[in-house]
């Protein structure tokens, strides 16, 4: 598990071409796997929960956050709503294995979340959602 100081100190590419993503989940294995997959196209930072994520967001210019919904101590919906209120420019995606469709639609409509993805979610679907949220999707 990476501590906050280590995560914040990760290098941000000087070329400015890669978007800064923050993956937030209390499952370190999930964030490590997604980070490996996404690192070729994006600068990826990880946080083990919202408290660590808030520290990172306060120190790094984040373009998009992908957050789990059910985490120890707080729901992803609450975390992402607070991020949206403080940093409205950050794009938001949520991963959830336990959210009914009506609830997911309500989250998108009311909390600034661009899309709710259902776990398990293939990495290609996550990449497509990220690219769409960042306006990078080529169709």
Whole-number Å distance between alpha carbons of 72 and 90: 23
- β-strands 74-75, 43-47 pairing: unpaired
In a domain, 138, yes or no: no
In a domain, 113, yes or no: yes
Question: What pLDDT does residue 138 have?
Answer: 56
**What residues contact residue 87 under an 8 Å CB cut-off, 6+ apart?**
57, 62
Identify the domain containing residue 104 by its residue range: 4-133
In a domain, 54, yes or no: yes
Say what the pTM is.
0.83
Number of domains comprising the chain: 1
In a domain, 12, yes or no: yes
Residue entry with tokens 């990760």: 10
Segment 6-34 mean pLDDT = 70
The CATH number for 58's domain is 3.40.50.2300
pLDDT bucket at 17, cuts 50 / 70 / 90: low
Question: What pLDDT does residue 106 have?
Answer: 80
pLDDT, one tens digit per residue, over 48-72 is 999 999 999 999 999 999 999 888 8
Bridge partners of residue 59, in order along the sequence: none
Q: pLDDT: is 99 or 36 the higher one?
A: 36
Whole-number Å distance between alpha carbons of 77 and 90: 15
3 near 46, Cβ under 8 Å?
Answer: no
pLDDT bucket at 130, cuts 50 / 70 / 90: very high
Q: pLDDT: is 41 or 7 the higher one?
A: 41
Question: What pLDDT does residue 2 have?
Answer: 45
DSSP 5-57: HHHHTSPPPTTS-S-EEEEE-S-HHHHHHHHHHHTTTSEEEEESSHHHHHHHH
pLDDT, one tens digit per residue, over 74-125 is 888 899 999 999 999 999 999 888 776 777 788 777 888 999 898 888 888 9
In a domain, 120, yes or no: yes
Question: What pLDDT does residue 137 have?
Answer: 67
Question: What pLDDT does residue 139 have?
Answer: 54
Encoded tokens for 35? 């980070």
């Amino acid at each position: 598990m990476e501590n906050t100081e280590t995560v914040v100190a990760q290098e941000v590419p000087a070329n400015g071409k890669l978007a800064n993503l923050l993956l937030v989940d209390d499952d370190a294995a999930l964030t490590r796997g997604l980070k490996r997959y996404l690192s070729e196209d994006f600068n990826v930072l990880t946080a083990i929960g919202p408290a660590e994520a808030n520290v990172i967001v306060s120190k790094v210019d984040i373009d998009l956050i992908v957050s789990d919904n059910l985490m120890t101590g707080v729901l992803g919906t609450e975390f992402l709503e607070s991020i949206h209120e403080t940093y409205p420019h950050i794009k938001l995606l949520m991963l959830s294995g336990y959210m009914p469709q009506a609830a997911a639609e309500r989250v998108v409509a009311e909390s600034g979340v661009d899309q709710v993805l259902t776990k398990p979610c293939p990495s290609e679907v996550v990449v497509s959602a990220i690219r769409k949220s960042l306006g990078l999707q080529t169709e």
